[in-house]
Amino acid sequence: MVRRLRAGEWLAAAGGVAMIVALALPWYDVGPETATGFEAFTVIDVLLVLLALLALALPFLQATRDSPALPVGAAVLTASFGILGVLLVLFRLIDDPFAGAELRGGAWIGLAAAVAIEASGWLSLDNEHVRGLPPDIEPELRPAPRIAPDAQP
């Protein structure tokens, strides 16, 4: 099952895990204390966790499904909502929730994770070949159906 994963799905898994880890790391220095992503945000952290779960669903669906419908749908959603994730993290990098707070490493890891999730959606959509499954017969090579027994092909 794991051999069916392509570069886009591996990047999605890494980005999803990195996003959850980044939210648990300190994002801001607030005087003598630090604030993690979960402590500093009210709604944005929930949206970023949902994005990370979507990114983690992409490799799971690719590994477990034979039909391409759900993996392609997850890749489209990952590419679409990945843009929102990048914009939300950039917003929090520019406009910190605390006055005069300094950015910490968790914020930069969160940005890298959001960019990785966005790129993973596009990579997954770009590569159509799935290892471990035989390629489909090309439409031109399929025999034409006969309409009547005496019809010419």
Helix extents (H) in the chain:
7-24, 37-40, 44-64, 69-94, 105-126
Q: What is the mean pLDDT of residues 132-143?
A: 58
Q: Which residues pair with 36 in a beta bridge?
A: 26
Helix or strand or coil: residue 65? coil
Q: What is the dihedral of CA 119, 114, 22, 101, to 10 degrees?
A: 140
Percent residues over pLDDT 90 in the chain: 51
Instruction: Identify which has the larger pLDDT, 21 or 3.
Output: 21
CA nearest to 78, candidates 49, 54, 99, 103: 54
Confidence of residue 107 (pLDDT cuts 50, 70, 90): very high
Structure tokens at 44: 């944005």
* pLDDT tens-digit map of 33-88: 999 999 999 899 999 999 999 999 999 988 888 777 788 888 999 999 999 999 99
Contact predicate 30/15, CB 8 Å? no
Provide the 10 A C-beta neighbour count for residue 33: 9
Q: What is the mean pLDDT of residues 16-32?
A: 93
- The pLDDT score that the predictor gives to residue 11 is 92
